[in-house]
Structure 1
Amino acid sequence: MRRNLTMSMARSIIGTSVLVAGAAAMVSVASGSAAAEPRDCALDRGPTSASAHCGGDGTYILEVDCFGVNLAGGSPVFGPYFKSVTGYADGVSRPARDCMMPLTLGQVGIATDARITQVPTRPSLPPNAYEYDPGRR
């Protein structure tokens, strides 16, 4: 009798172990590959601009909050405006945004904040505004 009890207990333990291992294998297969992310990011700020530099893989967004006069939307606006650019975490690219672009965009301002994010947190320039990015591929 005792032998039957130990055998049934062993079978239930083995059966439970097989189910748990199968579930873990299914989760591993179904999850796919992890998204590449930048790492070791550095943010360089100036009075009117900011630039970023990241290692690792993937992309990131440099966002710069500016305050001043902005003509990029067509009519002059005095107050905050936002700029952003996508960077590539390859160790080579160094995206930058400048709040002081009076000749090309009609912007005269100072940088009040800058950050590196994975997803945009602020609106960017209007779609009709063109901003040259020497680091763009």
Structure 2
Amino acid sequence: MSMGMTRNVVGMSVIVAGAATMITLAAGSAAAEPRDCVVNQWATGASAQCAGEGTYILEVDCFGLNLTYGPPFGPYNKSVTGFAGTPDQPSRDCMMPTTLGQIGIVTGARITQVPTRPGLPDNAWEYDPGRR
């Protein structure tokens, strides 16, 4: 076998091995993600549940009175971390007049892997099992 042909065979072997490794890694990470997610929404809040593994974020868009942060009347956002495959259903409610000064309705709810809206500021207390 000539030197040039040996280099080509070694080079192709490296490319094939690299591609096989990437496919294996991609398949492993996809299997470890939340799946079959369901969002339950009602007038003043929402909850979520996912199967599989890993974490997810329930984001709830609210509209109404909000004395915690931002303008006192208008849209505000809430979020909570959920853990897939557990019986717990993380939820957020737009109606928390005594603890957060919020009286609102839900205008949207979704499950994401990465936050898409700002949640409550750090100084606002609302229990999130993902923030320990």
So what's the TM-score if we normalise by structure 2? Answer: 0.80
Tell me what 2:63 maps to: 67
Change (3 A) 1:16 1:70: same
Per-residue deviation at 1:51? 0.3
Structure 2 match to 1:128? 123
Q: Radius of gyration: which is bigger?
A: 1
Residue of structure 1 aligned with 2:96, choices 81, 101, 109: 101
Deviation at 1:31, TM superposition (A): 7.7
Is the Cα–Cα contact under 8 Å of residues 82 and 125 in structure 1 kept in the other structure?
Answer: yes
* Structure 2: 5+ residue stretches without partners: none
Structure 1: unaligned runs, 5 residues or longer: 1-6
Aligned match of 2:43 in 47, 50, 59? 47
- TM-score normalized with structure 1 length: 0.77
CA displacement at 1:89 relative to structure 2:
0.6
Cα distance change, pair 66–77 in 1 and its aligned pair in 2 (3 A): same
Question: Equivalent residues in 2 for 1:5-44 (5 A)?
Answer: 16=8, 19-29=11-21, 33=25, 34-35=28-29, 36-44=32-40
**CA offsets, 1:2-48, max 9 Å, x none?**
xxxxx99xxx5x97555323212134447884433100000000000
Q: CA RMSD in A?
A: 2.8
Instruction: Determine if contact 1:56/1:91 at 8 Å carries over to the other structure.
Output: no
